Amino acid sequence: MEKVILTGDSLTLDQVIAVARDYAQVEIDEKTMEQVVASRKVVEDIVESERVVYGVNTGFGSLARVSISKEDTAQLQENLIRSHAVGYGAPLADDEVRAIILIRVNSLIKGVSAIRRETIETLLAMLNKGVVPYIPEKGSIGASGDLCPLSHMVLPMLGLGYAFYEDELLDGKDAMEKAGIPIIKLGAKEGLALNNGTTVMTAIGALATYDALELAKVADITGALSLEAHRGIIDAFYDKLHDIRPHQGNLTTAENIRNLTEGSTLTTHTAEIRVQDAYTLRCMPQVHGASKDTINYVRSKVDIELNAATDNPIVFSDGQVISGGNFHGEPMAQPFDFLCIGAAELANISERRIERLVNATLSEFPSFLVKKPGLNSGFMITQYSAAALVSENKVLAHPASVDSITSCENQEDFVSMGTIASRNARDIVENLKRVVATELMAACQAIDFRKDLNPDLKLGKGTQAAYDLVRENIPFIDDDKNFELFDELEIATAIIEDGSLLEAVEAVVKLNN
């Protein structure tokens, strides 16, 4: 696996995935360090000259009115980290924490945070050697940045807090010692450089965005299988129809469905069997497409934030220091709320297609896709479970960014709640994964019933690849007594999560986002 080289302005979402989930090693482009050293020199001069600069020789937030002596500027930074690390809840997942560290390092090497080279290198060593700070997922209001969770990230660097190392939760000092990484003492401004920024919301949201992009293609696959199971009308996906309303998502989804069903004898044409299909089949380009456009918009914002400086104050190498609002999470909070909606809609329409498959009044299949319904319940409760997930998503999709609670003695009087938005998006995307896994199983089950009626019918090129992979791993469910559907659903979820489904399909047809 190739190393990821950080420059401060070229980090991509794919590289975030490679480091966070595939454990790619990371290096820093040496040229960036010149700017880091120059910015650091400015702060050292400020300390010596006792020029008043926020966060260097003043208190924080509303305590900026309090002057800090030259002798206490270093202790100020450790106090900042100790006092701000007050999170709550389950720890963030390893891939989320690794993404946080990666993005923070990339921001710091832009050379406007006045942090020492050795401090950056300590953080980088934690990433490359697998030290994963224990970061409770709750406690950030998204301005000033992610102060609370980022403080938990810093604690092990100081020999404090907790961290996972080789799958064991240890005291921060022990984790660092086992990894062979010396702990450090913070210098002037360094605590603020490390904990003030949008890094946590960006990392969580970036991973969710990547997963949503992948699941949008999976939704096209499961939707195409449902279309064929119902002998749906392919005319609704013709390019000439979408060329006259050329939203990119519409065009992409219609093309994906055409590619997936190429060569199918299961699809039909207008009035061949029925005049029109239900919306959940006919309107996939419009609904899936809208979600894709939403997710791609969010990705464009993630791409910017991955390479942004979100510290405060910003310290330029020419000596200018500017206190501003780059730490404010609003530019990411609103997109991540939008991501919630886009992912939730993909789950909503998928669940409605599941209902059409299991409901005998809406299909030609036996009730709940099982032989001898009554004796067997078949896929009955899979729809209940999917319904529960999409209902939960509707609650989670309430925008976090429309809320604000004043903090810090009314100095920080408008905050973003962006980290809540990113966590909501993550949870919605996780629920979406299970819903489309359920549709995948149900559609393949329905296709088997369809083939029983007419063995000569065949799937399209892409849907056949998806069906074959499912049947390699999950058999036809002919009764309740020989199967535990939870286990089969777990397998269906796993072949989506590990990329097997997309790999199998994209080996034979082209799919786009």
- At residue 411 the predicted structure's pLDDT band, cuts being 50, 70 and 90, is confident
Q: Pairing mode, if any, of strands 26-28 and 88-91?
A: unpaired
pLDDT by residue (tens digit) across 379-391? 999 999 999 999 9
**Is 511 within the bounds of a domain?**
no
- Shared-domain flag, residues 240 and 122: no
Q: Is the pLDDT of residue 410 over 80?
A: no
Q: What is the pLDDT of residue 134?
A: 98
* Tokens 């991509």, residue located: 12
**Is 424 within the bounds of a domain?**
yes
Which two three-digit tokens encode residue 19?
């480091």
Query: Can you point out the beta strands (E) in 73-145?
Result: 88-91, 131-133, 136-138
Which two three-digit tokens encode residue 38?
């120059």
Q: What is the pLDDT of residue 346?
A: 98
Q: What is the mean pLDDT of the segment spanning 211-236?
A: 98
pLDDT by residue (tens digit) across 311-359? 999 999 999 999 999 999 999 999 999 999 999 999 999 999 999 999 9
- At residue 402 the predicted structure's pLDDT band, cuts being 50, 70 and 90, is very high
- At residue 165 the predicted structure's pLDDT band, cuts being 50, 70 and 90, is very high
Q: What is the pLDDT of residue 408?
A: 81
Which two three-digit tokens encode residue 27?
């290096």
- Shared-domain flag, residues 273 and 307: yes
**62-71 burial string, b = 16+ CB within 10 Å, else e?**
eeeeeebeee
**327-345 burial string, b = 16+ CB within 10 Å, else e?**
bbbbbbbbbbbbbbbbbbb
**Closest among 309, 46, 86, 61 to 193, alpha carbons compared:** 309
Question: Helices 284-305 and 13-20 sit at what angle, rounded to 10 degrees?
Answer: 80
Using a pLDDT cut of 70, give the percent of the chain over it.
Answer: 100
Query: Measured at the alpha carbon of residue 165, what is the angle toward residues 163 and 170, in degrees to the nearest 5?
Result: 50
The alpha-carbon radius of gyration of the chain (Å, integer) is: 26
**Closest among 347, 373, 490, 378 to 442, alpha carbons compared:** 378
Non-local CB neighbours of 29 within 8 Å, separated by 6+ positions: 5, 6, 7, 8, 109
- Shared-domain flag, residues 147 and 275: no
Q: What is the pLDDT of residue 334?
A: 98
- Shared-domain flag, residues 143 and 214: no
Q: What is the pLDDT of residue 7?
A: 97
- Counting beta carbons within 10 angstroms of the beta carbon of residue 5, is it exposed (0 to 12), middle (13 to 18) or buried (19 or more)? middle
**Is 153 within the bounds of a domain?**
yes
CA distance 167 to 9: 32
**Closest among 55, 146, 57, 131 to 98, alpha carbons compared:** 131
**Is 94 within the bounds of a domain?**
yes
For residue 407, the 8-state DSSP code is B
Q: What is the mean pLDDT of the segment spanning 476-494?
A: 95
Q: Pairing mode, if any, of strands 168-171 and 136-138?
A: unpaired
Q: What is the mean pLDDT of the segment spanning 96-114?
A: 97
Domain's final residue, options 179, 197, 215: 197
CATH of the domain at 13: 1.10.275.10
Q: Is the pLDDT of residue 301 over 90?
A: yes
CATH of the domain at 296: 1.20.200.10
pLDDT by residue (tens digit) across 440-472? 999 999 999 998 888 899 999 999 999 999 999
Cβ atoms of 191 and 83 closer than 8 Å: no
- Shared-domain flag, residues 291 and 420: yes
- Shared-domain flag, residues 237 and 99: no
Q: What is the pLDDT of residue 399?
A: 97
Cβ atoms of 192 and 173 closer than 8 Å: no
- At residue 70 the predicted structure's pLDDT band, cuts being 50, 70 and 90, is confident
- Shared-domain flag, residues 404 and 465: yes
The count of structural domains within the chain is 2
Examine residue 313 and say whether the peptide bond preceding it is cis (omega within 30 degrees of 0): yes
- Shared-domain flag, residues 152 and 237: no
- Shared-domain flag, residues 129 and 177: yes
- Shared-domain flag, residues 151 and 298: no
Q: Could you tell me the pTM of the whole model?
A: 0.97
Domain's final residue, options 146, 164, 197: 197
Q: What is the pLDDT of residue 50?
A: 86
**Is 91 within the bounds of a domain?**
yes
- At residue 203 the predicted structure's pLDDT band, cuts being 50, 70 and 90, is very high
Q: What is the mean pLDDT of the segment spanning 212-235?
A: 98
The lowest-confidence range among 131-135, 142-146, 207-211, 269-273 is: 142-146
Non-local CB neighbours of 335 within 8 Å, separated by 6+ positions: 205, 297, 298, 301, 302
**Is 107 within the bounds of a domain?**
yes
Neighbouring-strand partners of residue 67: 58
Domain's final residue, options 132, 164, 197: 197
CA distance 469 to 452: 20
Selected catalytic residue, list 54, 165, 238, 384: 54
- Shared-domain flag, residues 442 and 470: yes
- At residue 72 the predicted structure's pLDDT band, cuts being 50, 70 and 90, is confident
* Concatenated DSSP letters of 8-62: SS---HHHHHHHHTT---EEE-TTHHHHHHHHHHHHHHHHHHT---TTTSB-SGG
Q: What is the pLDDT of residue 428?
A: 98
Q: What is the pLDDT of residue 61?
A: 76
* 3-state percent helix, strand, coil for the chain, nearest multiple of 5: 60, 5, 35
What is the end-to-end Cα distance of the chain in Å, rounded? 25
CA distance 391 to 398: 12
- At residue 58 the predicted structure's pLDDT band, cuts being 50, 70 and 90, is confident
Compute the mean pLDDT over every residue in the chain, rounded to the nearest whole number. 96
Q: Is the pLDDT of residue 59 over 80?
A: no
Cβ atoms of 417 and 404 closer than 8 Å: yes
**Is 79 within the bounds of a domain?**
yes
Q: Is the pLDDT of residue 64 over 90?
A: no
162 is catalytic: no
Q: What is the mean pLDDT of the segment spanning 92-117?
A: 97
- Shared-domain flag, residues 84 and 230: no
pLDDT by residue (tens digit) across 264-284? 999 999 999 999 999 999 999
Q: What is the pLDDT of residue 20?
A: 98
Domain coverage including residue 187? 4-197
Q: What is the mean pLDDT of the segment spanning 499-513?
A: 97
- At residue 52 the predicted structure's pLDDT band, cuts being 50, 70 and 90, is confident
Cβ atoms of 6 and 89 closer than 8 Å: no
**Is 513 within the bounds of a domain?**
no
